[in-house]
Structure 1
């Protein structure tokens, strides 16, 4: 897998995705005063994502290209439902996030960067891509994931420059980030084998059945959502999502599944973070807070 290099259709705000990583199935929005030894909250990650876009814009301008900054994501937009959704407020507003994804897709189609890119000659498009992602001569950084895979990204171009400005040494950040991001492949099977978890899933399924929804677990429900919403217009698709998501969230609360899943994740993830993967975990947290401090300065200067 190779990240950080793409054709014109992927030009929109993709830089943010490289610096923004989920913190696990229990991730949710939080305050900006979390201790420095913890991973960033969704709101803090949104700040870093926006600053990265601004830094990319500055870099592209220095290379002779106009680059429009995407609308900064909100903490809610960065959140994913995870294994089980147990936030009734988020479920009522966003369902499973399908409407958010459709809005992102529409924004990509309307993005001025894409429109500008399409007006360029083939040579101009090549120069744009090289400016943003680095040319053929760009080096790469690689990282091994806990699951045994390898990921890489180019170290040239404004995408990498923005990351470097936020995190410092790109190789160090990339390796730590991809290692920690991949820990779920190690602890998620352990969570699903836990007796507490299995019992809570059974309780959740009974609760859902009482509400008229026959699903053995949240995964089986999510797998059905695309078929249930296929062919529907946006409001009707969103209504289907909200109906199912609010039921899931209520049952996750009643069964304790959300609470138990988070507790097990903290336990198992913490074991890896304090043991075999202690060094990359500590490095990622340290560099996340370094990036946040830099991002706050960038955002302050941009609004001055």
Structure 2
């Protein structure tokens, strides 16, 4: 899989994985957080970072790229992305009642992110440059067409490639060290769940807790089989809505999300899920667990460096 220059720029300019837009069929919500965060996690010699830490690392990467681009004679606007509260991950299990009451499942946060991407001044600035300056801009940002290509294997098979150069690579190097080591570690850590998530979703203890959640939701007037079905139901509306229609659909989303969170708390769905996730995670091959531990250490080191670059989000 070869990533294009446009895709690399989108990755750099986009929000970090821990945004509410990154809803995934996972327990902890963020696609790059590769395991449970509860006690007893078998592969966590270093404390796992939270979404606020992820956001700070992403902000630091943006700041480093901005500085680097300025040194090359180009403007670059940092993408700050959602606020700290809005960046809270929305996982398969969402049990924060207050957050659900304010944001539902995060549809308005996702829409806000989409609007911010459309207003991003960086593509317009690039397009305003002459052909030669656009080429120089691309080279400065990510190495352009001549950038080195990094390659690694995914845990489940398949090869992933990424061009790595320019200010993007410099920012990653400043935060994570060797870009190839980080790319290989990040790719492996970010693709572990397919190796066990099927087993988790069919685990007797977890499915029993989901059935308890479903019965709770039925009593609340929301007959859904699982949290995924509840969330999908709130998206069943026209893509284009009037202001009044959007307000009604958001109110319905909040109602379901609050009930979801309350029932998840009532049956301890997150605790059960995290415990069973730790069980299956701990049975992955030893080499993958070593890579996961390395991933945690690299991110912890990146946070230490990021703290010298940007302040924490308020």
TM-score per shorter chain, which class?
0.7 to 0.9
CA contact (8 A) 2:17 2:32 kept: no
Deviation at 1:119, TM superposition (A): 2.2
Pair 1:100-2:112 in alignment: no
2:275 to 263, 277, 284: 263
Question: How far apart, CA to CA, are the structure 1 residues paired with 2:4 and 2:305?
Answer: 21
Deviation at 1:292, TM superposition (A): 0.9
CA RMSD of aligned residues (A): 2.8
CA contact (8 A) 1:208 1:214 kept: yes
Q: TM-score, normalised by structure 2?
A: 0.83
Pair 1:287-2:293 in alignment: no
Query: Residue 22 of structure 2 corresponds to which residue in structure 1?
Result: none
Greater helix content: 1
Q: Which runs of 5+ in 1 are unaligned?
A: 29-34
CA contact (8 A) 1:48 1:295 kept: yes
Distance 1:7 1:146, change over 3 A: closer
Question: How far apart, CA to CA, are the structure 2 residues paired with 1:152 and 1:12?
Answer: 16
Question: How far apart, CA to CA, are the structure 2 residues paired with 1:240 and 1:200?
Answer: 25
Question: How far apart, CA to CA, are the structure 1 residues paired with 2:141 and 2:283?
Answer: 38
Question: How far apart, CA to CA, are the structure 2 residues paired with 1:202 and 1:15?
Answer: 34
Question: How far apart, CA to CA, are the structure 2 residues paired with 1:262 and 1:229?
Answer: 35
Query: Residue 23 of structure 2 corresponds to which residue in structure 1?
Result: none
Deviation at 1:22, TM superposition (A): 3.2
Distance 1:286 1:169, change over 3 A: same
Pair 1:212-2:224 in alignment: no
Deviation at 1:247, TM superposition (A): 1.2
Q: Which runs of 5+ in 2 are unaligned?
A: 19-29, 39-43
- The alignment covers a number of residue pairs equal to 292
Deviation at 1:16, TM superposition (A): 5.1
Of the two structures, which has the highest relative contact order with CA contacts closer than 8 Å and spacing of 6 or more? 2
Q: TM-score, normalised by structure 1?
A: 0.85
1:22 to 10, 25, 32: 32
Question: How far apart, CA to CA, are the structure 1 residues paired with 2:81 and 2:235?
Answer: 27
1:176 to 176, 185, 189: 185
Question: How far apart, CA to CA, are the structure 1 residues paired with 2:17 and 2:307?
Answer: 18
